[in-house]
Amino acid sequence: MKKSLTNLGELTFAYIIIFFILREWLTPVMELTNTGMLHLFLVFIGLALVLSLLQIHPLLSGTIKIVYITWFVVFSYSKYPFLSRETIPYLANEWKLNMLAITSGNFGQVTDSFRTILFLALIWMLIYLIHHWVAVRKNIFYFLALTVFFIATLDTFSDYDGKVAIIKVLILGLILTGVLTIERLWIQSDQPVDVAKKWLITLPMIISILFVSVVAFSLPKTGPTWADPVPFIKNVTGYGNGGSGSRTVGYGEDDSQLGGPFQGDDTLVFTAKSQDRHYWRIDTKDTYTSKGWVKSKGTFEQLVYNENMRIPSSLPIGPSDQVRQTEIEMAMPMPFLLQTYGMISVATGDDAIFIQDTHNEKITVQQLDGKAKLLEKYQLTYSKPVYKDEELQLSNPAMLETLSSDFERFLQLPETVPQRVKDLAIRITQNQSSVYEQIKAIERYFTMNSFIYDKNEVAIPAEDEDYVDQFLFETKMGYCDNFSTSMIVLLRSVGIPARWVKGFASGEEGATVNDVKEYHVTNNNAHSWVEAYIPGTGWMEFEPTIGFTSNVNIDYDFTNETPQQEQPVKPEEQPKEQPEKQLEEEKEEHSPKNAIVAGVGFVEIWKWLKYVLIVLSIVLLFTGITLFVKRKTWLPKMHIHVYRRKEADWTNFDASYQVLVKQLARIGLRRKDGETLRVFAERVDAALETDEMSTLTAVYEQYIYGNSTQTSDFIKLKEIWENLINRTIG
Amino acid sequence: MNEQIQRVIDNIEKVIVGKREVAELSIVALLARGHILLEDVPGVGKTMMVRALAKSFDAQFKRIQFTPDLLPSDVVGISMYNPKTMEFEFRAGPIMGNVILADEINRTSPKTQSALLEGMEESSVTIDGHTFAIQQPFFVMATQNPIEHEGTYPLPEAQLDRFLMKIKMGYPSRKEEMEILRRAETGRPIEQLEAVLTLTQLIELQELIQGVYVEDSVKSYIVELATQTRENSYVHLGVSPRATLSLMKAAQAYAFIKGRNYVTPDDVQYLARFVFSHRVLLKPEARYEQIRAEEIIERIIAKTPVPTKRFAER
């Protein structure tokens, strides 16, 4: 009785400490989730600890906990009093809702009350584990390490400041570890329980821990020797939010330093209503610096246009019978225009002027007084340019020689571009007869040479590295900037004028009303692509980035285009779109685009596989560790199974005896070097309260030291052996 | 326990109270054809033990009390001229017995000591050019008093090596001493003691123990223990190969009396302290640190790995 009482006292002490450690778990969770019910959760923890401490029958303690949880939910989430008529229907309804949400996979729809129940259940389980650690294993290390890790992680990656919490947890944890260690030593030494003696050891331990803590706390500390690892970790894991190396996707002005990972951002920028898919052009850049893009120096005209005035650009315009309108509604108004290919004029319904910078063809919008104007809605009139295949094929590379000096800035290359880039460009284009084919060859190059589209693992070129060279020859992994810039450098290397275009890709398709489709363009759609100059045709857009397709209209001069013309709706449009589509489909069958599809598929599978492999190896590792740690319980069972089937003879008896000795060593009964088997057996028998080991050992001795080959009663021996092995497990 | 030996021990215990270990070890020495050096104070029952042992086998018991003036001829015997037959006649000394108690062997001169020890080793004595075989079985139990050193001649190492074992008798416990008094109250029990085995049977037993099996792993264990004494930092001179051999023989005898026909490391460990400790010569350091030879042997036993697997080359 006295023993159990002191035991209870010790456990209570341990549980009080556990309570305070658990409190440190709860506080940050409550703080970060803005849940203001800390005290209610604490009461639950206390309740669970007390029930576990008093060893209440599981049925009773379970009922108490369930009642508390129910009360908790009703009290906190419903407007009804706990013991009212509405309680049951409320709970049933909640249950139905949540089960529905879970079974349909909509985990986001799970209500707060259900989350609370899950959280409380988690605490319940945790306390069950803790009870095992404290009362049975008398080792709290896992729990303590986990707590520290948990708080440290929250401290590092969230707004929660865990400085004080960590100190508290460590002090409490050390005291608890000390108490449990004393307890363990006491049990091992077989001493009678003596509370006073125990406290004689425990008190100095606690005092010294407190003393050391106070000293450690008050001592001056140097700053961290490592740089803050958080931005790095965030970059690697893709959770950066504008840290030094990472950027958020979206349209921006500064492109002088390209590369590095970026984070997705699905904020809506604008919605466009249009019959056609468009790439939304904003800006072009002409000077490559080996690290990124800047504007070239020089003076260029600023042209001013009014509403509905034709705004000319360097790009061709489609036929006049194809003129259409698109409406743009900005979610995030910008002081410049989003231009479609073939744009003719702009209507805002407001007094605004448009200033076109002929340098980069960016059109800024201003009020009449010269201040920047943020348009919320405007209408573009355009006619999509149609490029004639015939014409394109006629573009002779020799014609590039005769270009005017205006194109020089589109042929600019820094001297630092490595020769191998230029060699590559020549190699890609050498067998092509026309400039257009040369450009297409370069455009295709990326899809055919196992380049990978990736937003995260993208390098930033070092001081002495070239952005394009690094991408083409080393990393082969990147996003639109990498592809477009590389393509331009390759084009320029073979003398084809090219410029870098920035804007937005076509966006996500929405509802269609009367052939007019809605396109939702988010920051994720910010894009860069290529415009190249084809002698005899003019500027034309190209899309080297894997996974993107441009919207170029190419008129392949087919003779049998007429049959489609009898289509009822807008008959004049159909013939042109139809062959194009057909051709695209055809192309996809033969052209390398097929390869991209397959390539992307493989990359996806590989990515998926990689995760599966990582998860699998972690699971395997954990299983391995658990099996290793738990080997003293499952190994013997396996051995029993194995030896049951084996024949009863001396060899197997010998082997089984060795297994037994090993198993005994695992449970701490290890034979000393100078100890004879008989002495060891006596010791084992004393520890296991049996005499079977001596019986077994006598036979074994006869086998190893004697020279007689007489048989023994192996069946009986096997029985004894099994008994012993089972004793080691129990 | 071997049945015949059990009878002998029971017989001895009729006279000697307690001291079962000494009786057992004496029989071990007797069966292994070795001799025992008993180191103890007078009056603890040494004589009684040897006499009881001798009586149990119906063996001839002789006692030699060693004194400083004892001559070798007093031990081995002397050739005397018989005027009647006009020949030298050999008159056997007390060594010509089966069981001999050589009391306080360190009190006599080395010359006399060596006469006895030579007889023990060779099982024969040479007098005036004639060699006389000592009758078998032949068992000497020599005693020496560890307390008195005045006027003694401690046995040299080489002589100590001739004893199979050195054992101590020790005082009886209170209970045992009470029992001694009770038994002596009515008469002298030794007088009523009868033989349980004949000398012939004893010789047969001596033959039998040679058949006790010593596994190679156990032999190697014995050798390892001996080697350890030679390599120990406290030991000036380790045990001789004769000691190794003695240990094996003793172990065979011990296994036999325990009723086994093979030697286990337990036998070796048990006997090593009796067989080895008087044969190692300690360095002065050990004596300064008051470490006795027995302790060193214990330490060696504790750290030398015991063979616990079947010997591979079998």
- Residue boundaries of the structural domains of chain A: 2-218, 246-557, 631-729
Partners of residue A671 in chain B, C-beta under 8 Å: 308
CA-nearest residue to B264 within chain A is A705
Contact B302 A672 (CB under 8 A): yes
CB half-sphere exposure, A148, CA atoms < 13 A: 13
Contact A678 B260 (CB under 8 A): no
CA distance B260 to chain A (A): 9
Find the mean pLDDT for residues A612-638: 82
Contact B309 A658 (CB under 8 A): yes
Contact A705 B263 (CB under 8 A): yes
Query: A576 and A389 in contact (C-beta within 8 Å)?
Result: no
Contact B310 A658 (CB under 8 A): no
CA distance B306 to chain A (A): 6
The per-residue pLDDT for A608 is 67
Strands (E) across A436-515 are located at 452-453, 477-478, 498-504, 508-513
Strands (E) across B104-190 are located at 124-127, 130-133, 139-144, 165-167
Place A472 in a pLDDT band, splitting at 50, 70 and 90: confident
Place B251 in a pLDDT band, splitting at 50, 70 and 90: very high
Per the structure block, which two tokens stand in for B185? 């109250």
Place A599 in a pLDDT band, splitting at 50, 70 and 90: very low
Q: Which of A671, A678, A705 lies closest to B215 in CB terms?
A: A705
Residue type, A426: I
**Residue % of chain B over a pLDDT of 70:** 98
Residue B258 contacts A where some CB pair is shorter than 8 Å: no
Residue B113 contacts A where some CB pair is shorter than 8 Å: no
Per the structure block, which two tokens stand in for A194? 């003596």
Question: Is the dihedral angle over the CA atoms B247, B249, B254, B259 positive or is it negative?
Answer: positive
CA-nearest residue to B262 within chain A is A706
Residue B264 contacts A where some CB pair is shorter than 8 Å: yes
Looking at residue A191, the DSSP 8-state letter turns out to be P
Contact B266 A676 (CB under 8 A): yes
Place A237 in a pLDDT band, splitting at 50, 70 and 90: low
Q: Residue A459: pLDDT above 60?
A: yes
**Residue % of chain A over a pLDDT of 70:** 87
Residue A658 contacts B where some CB pair is shorter than 8 Å: yes
Between these two residues, A49 and A639, which has the higher pLDDT value?
A49
- CA–CA gap between residue B41 and residue B144 (Å, rounded): 8
Contact B303 A674 (CB under 8 A): yes
Find the mean pLDDT for residues B140-158: 79
The per-residue pLDDT for B248 is 92
**Residue % of chain A over a pLDDT of 90:** 0
The per-residue pLDDT for A395 is 83
Segment A250-268, tens digit of pLDDT: 677 778 778 777 777 778 8
Contact A706 B261 (CB under 8 A): yes
Contact A677 B308 (CB under 8 A): yes
The per-residue pLDDT for A708 is 67
Beta bridge partners of A336: A364
Find the mean pLDDT for residues A408-427: 86
Query: A175 and A21 in contact (C-beta within 8 Å)?
Result: no
Find the mean pLDDT for residues B175-187: 83
Q: Which of B264, B301, B304 lies closest to A705 in CB terms?
A: B264
CA distance A677 to chain B (A): 7
Classify each residue of A348-366 as buried b or exposed e, where b means 16 or more C-beta atoms within 10 Å of its C-beta: beeebbbbbbebbbbbbbe
Per the structure block, which two tokens stand in for A33? 């989730």
- Between 3.90.1150.30, 3.40.640.10, 2.60.120.380, 3.10.620.30, what CATH number should domain A246-557 receive? 3.10.620.30
The per-residue pLDDT for A355 is 85
Contact A705 B217 (CB under 8 A): yes
Q: Residue A227: pLDDT above 60?
A: no
| Long-range contacts, stretch A401-407, CB < 8 angstroms, 24+ apart | A401/A495, A402/A535, A403/A497, A403/A533, A403/A535, A407/A497, A407/A533
Find the mean pLDDT for residues B188-201: 81
Rg, chain A, Cα only: 38
Segment A560-576, tens digit of pLDDT: 444 444 444 444 444 44
Residue type, A42: L
Query: A457 and A469 in contact (C-beta within 8 Å)?
Result: no
- CA–CA gap between residue A247 and residue A263 (Å, rounded): 6
Q: Residue A371: pLDDT above 70?
A: yes
CA-nearest residue to B225 within chain A is A674
CA distance B285 to chain A (A): 25
Partners of residue A701 in chain B, C-beta under 8 Å: 264
- CA–CA gap between residue B54 and residue B62 (Å, rounded): 9
Residue B266 contacts A where some CB pair is shorter than 8 Å: yes
CA-nearest residue to B219 within chain A is A705
Residue B252 contacts A where some CB pair is shorter than 8 Å: no
Contact A675 B217 (CB under 8 A): no
- CA–CA gap between residue B34 and residue B214 (Å, rounded): 19
Contact A706 B310 (CB under 8 A): no
Residue B216 contacts A where some CB pair is shorter than 8 Å: no
Question: A 586-625 residues with CB below 8 A of B?
Answer: none
Between these two residues, A611 and A662, which has the higher pLDDT value?
A662
Residue B262 contacts A where some CB pair is shorter than 8 Å: yes
Strands B87-92 and B124-127, sheet pairing = unpaired
Q: Which CATH architecture has domain B3-202?
A: 3-Layer(aba) Sandwich (3.40)
Per the structure block, which two tokens stand in for B153? 């001649």
Q: Which of B264, B269, B311 lies closest to A701 in CB terms?
A: B264
Least confident of A205-214, A399-408, A429-438, B165-174: A399-408
ipTM above 0.90, yes or no: no
Q: Which of A680, A696, A705, A709 to mutate to test the interface with B (most CBs of B within 10 A)?
A: A705
- The residue among B156, B189, B116, B126 whose CA lies nearest residue B279 is B156
Residue A665 contacts B where some CB pair is shorter than 8 Å: no
Q: Which residues fall within 8 angstroms of residue A95, CB to CB, at 6 or more apart?
A: none
Partners of residue A675 in chain B, C-beta under 8 Å: 306
Fold of B210-303: Helicase, Ruva Protein; domain 3 (1.10.8)
CA distance B216 to chain A (A): 8
Most confident of A192-196, A450-454, B265-269: B265-269
Segment A358-368, tens digit of pLDDT: 888 888 888 87
CA distance A627 to chain B (A): 28
Chain-wide mean pLDDT for chain A? 79
Query: A494 and A254 in contact (C-beta within 8 Å)?
Result: no
Collapsed DSSP state (helix, strand, coil) of residue A336: strand
Partners of residue A678 in chain B, C-beta under 8 Å: 264, 266
Note if the pTM is more than 0.90: no
CA-nearest residue to A677 within chain B is B308
Partners of residue B302 in chain A, C-beta under 8 Å: 672-674
Contact B264 A671 (CB under 8 A): no
Partners of residue B265 in chain A, C-beta under 8 Å: 676-677, 705
Question: A 47-86 residues with CB below 8 A of B?
Answer: none
The per-residue pLDDT for A626 is 85
Angle of the A714-729 helix axis to the A677-688 helix axis, nearest 10: 60
Q: Residue A537: pLDDT above 70?
A: yes
Q: Which of A660, A704, A707, A709 to mutate to test the interface with B (most CBs of B within 10 A)?
A: A704
* CATH topology agreement for domains B3-202 and B210-303: no
Contact A678 B266 (CB under 8 A): yes
Contact A674 B311 (CB under 8 A): no
The per-residue pLDDT for B244 is 92
The per-residue pLDDT for A589 is 38
The per-residue pLDDT for B103 is 86
Place A228 in a pLDDT band, splitting at 50, 70 and 90: low
The per-residue pLDDT for A656 is 83
Residue B174 contacts A where some CB pair is shorter than 8 Å: no
Q: Which of B213, B217, B265 lies closest to A676 in CB terms?
A: B265
Residue boundaries of the structural domains of chain B: 3-202, 210-303
